[in-house]
Amino acid sequence: MELEIYADAAAVGRRAAEIIAEAINTKPDVTLGLATGRTPISTYDALVRLYDSGKVEFSGVTTFNLDEYVSLPSDDPHSYHAYMREHLFQHVNLLPGAAHTPQGDADDLERECAQYEAAIDAAGGIGLQLLGIGRNGHIGFNEPGAGWNLPTHVVELKEGTRRANANFFGGDVARVPTRAISMGILTIMHAHRLLLLATGDTKSAIMQRAIEGAISPDVPASILQLHPDALVLLDTAAASRLHATTTAHALRLAVDAGPAIPRSGEHRSPAT
């Protein structure tokens, strides 16, 4: 696991967008795994700016989103389908049919999960998977206690996760669905590269546990310590509880000087 620390969420977003654009420019038919939530919004904003300025284009790219709420049709404004259209898909030149998000309103949810997993396999697996992290350590909607060995499956959402996401539902937790379809930890760990983003001090405690703590299903993101190519981008607030020996080797931009491009291996060094 490698670690980079930036001044603020906007700088994390610019760096993440730069990494995604570089992955596309290196392999124009790359398969991206995408995430939703508040955290990646600055990444998608920066990625759209890179697209608008001609630095990247998406005509060969395939995408798979991590998750979707059960019961929401894809045209529901609260669905992750709608989120992705709003923040990325409508702004770039992905080909029709190239973007995949689980169908939360499928009649047969088990079959939808199996088909989603099969579609990822048929695309050759995920090249670069973007991840956020819940305050309880979830990745995708793999909540604490989730099995390590699960592919895409239906999950019950924890109360805290529903509360954390209520702001997308007008602040009304009762409107947040109780279940979701999510890629499993197995699906996520099979991605060739992982890019986890965490910003703000509400994520500092869980990042300390995920990066420095024991690898345990109690903190699903801790499994990233075992992935051969996982990069974590934090802002200074989310990194504030990390031990000095962890952050000493991280690329640290205390002042936002715009996106920094470490030459391979020059600034990045293992955090664990």
Q: Which residues are tagged catalytic?
A: 67, 136, 138, 143
d(C-alpha 24, C-alpha 16), whole Å: 12
Nearest CB to ligand PGA, comparing residues 54 and 171: 171
One character per residue 108-147, x = contact with ligand PGA (rule: CB under 6 A): ------------------------xxx-------------
Site for ligand PGA in 54-83 (CB under 6 A): none
268 touches ligand PGA (CB under 6 A): no
The residue among 38 and 55 lying less far from ligand PGA, judged by its C-beta, is 38
Tokens of 56: 């990247």
- Answer for the pair 155, 143: CB distance below 8 angstroms, yes or no: yes
* Total number of residues shown for the chain: 272
Q: Kindly determine how many residues on this chain lie close enough to bind ligand PGA according to the rule CB under 6 A.
A: 6
Other residues' Cβ atoms within 10 Å of the Cβ of residue 225 = 16
Complex with ligand PGA: residue 64 or 98, whichever CB lies closer:
64
Task: Fill in the DSSP letter of residue 8.
Answer: S
Contact between 33 and ligand PGA by CB under 6 A: the answer reads no
Report how far residue 137's alpha carbon sits from residue 219's, in angstroms, rounded to the nearest whole number: 5
Please tell me whether residue 247 binds ligand PGA under the rule CB under 6 A: no
Residue 2 contacts residue 271 (beta carbons within 8 Å): yes
Query: CB of 142: closest distance to ligand PGA in angstroms?
Result: 10
